Structure 1
């Protein structure tokens, strides 16, 4: 088995009196595609935010890629996110007045130096070489999500996080996006954490864990 890229021990998160994630022990091997399922409020997005360095835990231990995230300063967490993590959001979060290639270059700006040739190449990889100069309002939902994928992979992350990335897509667009992610993962060999409500989407992963009221209640292997 591959070494663990994510290791948690008693990881938990509370917001005031509300415990969003109860003590969780979890290991994710490097290169695995882990699907995380559960109803709204089950702790899925909380777990993703902790693993991605977007939020801090209330208790427990959390190591990602050899980094002890609890020991990192705010600047250290920002560096970790820039250099290690790519995120695909459900709501796209594209800048409406920027073109597709400019939206991808924006991710480079926060990482190092924008390179239009690299941004163009990333968009070509996701099948949008003909849409480089289109703004988000001129793209379909599926095309906007592919821009998000290009933006997420432009800095060669080791960990790709998806927060309901197909939640606003129809079935055809969902399948296209999932097939694209599978191809990119095979090429780039990144680890995937995919939060979803959709059982069909979950089966694209190697393993699925189910959260309920902040507790890991079961897991199953979806691919050998």
Structure 2
């Protein structure tokens, strides 16, 4: 059997902000196709780790390779190109433009990746079950529907790794389950790796593996047991 290819590889990865050490030396690998859940209380280093993997922040020390790219060796333009070509990001706050339709919000994301393509954006929204909501603006959509627009926006560039920062934090139970089922379905169909940050143990269980951070330190690494 072939050994799984590693999508994320860190060695002694550290991030400090002045005297504050947000992430202490971390060794972590994430194989291709895995759904990794990252748990920890506020300030534990979860979002810091996600931002480093996504090329949104730069490490203070250590090494970080994502999809074969040495992020420490990339300048700002290189990291921007890496994000465009490799990463999809879903935030807890939707960051949708309120005066644009769902279709236009996804097309705007295309602008930063390549060239806006209405048919491609429509296809992404149809894949997340919003084919009949293309012309609706964010204020006309439920919280779960808005998050589905964000997922469509994140997958429009066919990312190799999808990063999600508390994607269900503002959703009710039914919408949370719908979004998680959608992520699981899309991962199987589009074959990307998922790194999802959450404070909710029930959400973490949807992953294949869960790591727990505490004060910037990885304190536990365990199999998640699958979706409830």
Query: Into which bin does the TM-score normalised by the smaller protein fall?
Result: over 0.9
Q: What corresponds to 1:124 in structure 2?
A: 126
The runs of at least 4 aligned residues of structure 1 exceeding 4 Å deviation read: none
Which position in structure 2 is the counterpart of 1:59? Answer: 61
1:182 aligns with 2:184: yes
Q: Does 1:162 align with 2:154?
A: no
How far apart are the structure 1 equivalents of 2:190 and 2:36?
A: 16
Among 71, 74, 78, which residue is 2:73 paired with?
Answer: 71
What is the aligned partner in structure 1 of residue 7 from structure 2?
Answer: 5
Secondary structure of 1:149's counterpart equals helix
Q: Distance in 2 between matches of 1:100 and 1:65?
A: 30
Q: State the partner residue of 2:202.
A: 200
Cross-structure match for 1:106: 108
Q: Please show how residues 90-101 of structure 1 align to structure 2 within 5 Å.
A: 90-101=92-103
Question: 1: distance between equivalents of 2:133 and 2:147?
Answer: 13
Q: Secondary structure at the match of 1:10?
A: strand
In structure 1, how many angstroms separate the alpha carbons of the residues matched to 2:133 and 2:7? 35
Q: Any unmatched runs of 5+ in structure 2?
A: none
* Structure 1 SS opposite 2:219: strand
Residue 223 (structure 1) shift? 3.5
Partner residue of 1:34 out of 36, 46, 56: 36
Unaligned residue ranges in structure 1 (runs of 5+): none
Post-superposition CA distance 1:82-116 (Å, at most 9, x none): 00000000000001111000000111111111100
Counterparts of 1:132 and 1:223, CA distance in 2:
36
Q: Distance in 2 between matches of 1:173 and 1:89?
A: 15
TM-score by length of 1: 0.99
Cα deviation 1:191-221 (Å, max 9, x = unaligned): 0000000100000000000000000001110
1:175-201 per-position Cα deviation (integer Å, ceiling 9, x unaligned): 000000000000011000000001000
Tell me what 2:141 maps to. 139
Q: Aligned partners of 1:219, 1:159: CA distance in 2, in Å?
A: 20
- Distance in 2 (CA, whole Å) between partners of 1:5 and 1:117 is 30
Task: Give the whole-Å Cα distance in 2 for the aligned partners of 1:40 and 1:127.
Answer: 32
1: CA distance, partners of 2:202 / 2:222: 14
Equivalent residue, structure 2, for 1:15: 17
SS in 2 for 1:45: helix
Q: Deviations over 1:127-172 (max 9, x none)?
A: 1111100111111100000000000001100000000000000000
Number of residue pairs the alignment of both structures matches: 224
How far, CA to CA, are the matches of 2:17 and 2:161 in structure 1? 26
CA distance in 2, matches of 1:93, 1:41: 22
**Take 1:52 and 1:111, find their aligned partners in 2: how far apart are those partners?**
15
